[in-house]
């Protein structure tokens, strides 16, 4: 049993978001994480060398909402996922991999945590 459950605290969920050239989707995708009913979330986003305006949109949102954001030259999805995993808080209880062209229902993380 994880330490958060033993202490009766809300488990920390780390949402990992690799992004590459999803300018048309990224704002709405990140908003769907920010607007979750579950509050103990760590959002980490890496833009993997997008040539569109994705990194500008992510940077703007990270300044407003305070999530971790790294923009770097393209290294491919596998390297991006490895770096995202290295950035996860040691206090994290769960990890959720999120695609930059996806949306989460506003209660998705709450329901998943309650089920686990």
Angle between helices 26-34 and 54-65 (to 10 degrees): 20
Q: Is the pLDDT of residue 86 over 70?
A: yes
pLDDT class of 16 with cuts at 50, 70, 90: very high
Residue 6 lies in a domain: no
pLDDT class of 7 with cuts at 50, 70, 90: low
Residue 25 lies in a domain: yes
Residue 4 lies in a domain: no
What average pLDDT does the structure give for the chain? 94
Q: What is the mean pLDDT of residues 51-56?
A: 98
Q: Is the pLDDT of residue 1 over 50?
A: no
Q: Is the pLDDT of residue 3 over 90?
A: no
33 touches 106 (CB < 8 A) = no
Q: Is the pLDDT of residue 4 over 70?
A: no
Residue 73 lies in a domain: yes
Rounded to an integer, what distance in angstroms lies between the CA atom of residue 18 and that of residue 63? 18
Q: Is the pLDDT of residue 32 over 50?
A: yes
Residue 5 lies in a domain: no
The CATH number covering residue 28 comes to 3.90.550.10
Beta strands, E only, the chain: 13-19, 41-48, 68-72, 94-97
Q: Give how many domains the chain has, as a whole number.
A: 1
Range of the domain at 98: 14-115
């Amino acid at each position: 049993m994880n330490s958060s459950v033993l202490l009766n605290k809300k488990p920390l969920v780390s949402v990992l978001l690799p992004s590459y050239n999803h300018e048309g989707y990224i704002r709405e995708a990140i908003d769907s994480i920010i607007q979750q009913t579950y509050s103990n979330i760590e959002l980490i986003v890496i833009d993997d060398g997008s040539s569109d305006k994705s990194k500008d949109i992510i940077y703007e949102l990270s300044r407003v909402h305070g999530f971790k954001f790294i923009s770097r030259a393209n290294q491919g999805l596998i390297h991006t996922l490895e770096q995202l995993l290295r950035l996860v808080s040691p206090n994290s209880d769960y990890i959720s991999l999120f695609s930059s062209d996806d949306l989460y229902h506003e209660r998705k993380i709450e329901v998943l945590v309650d089920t686990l």
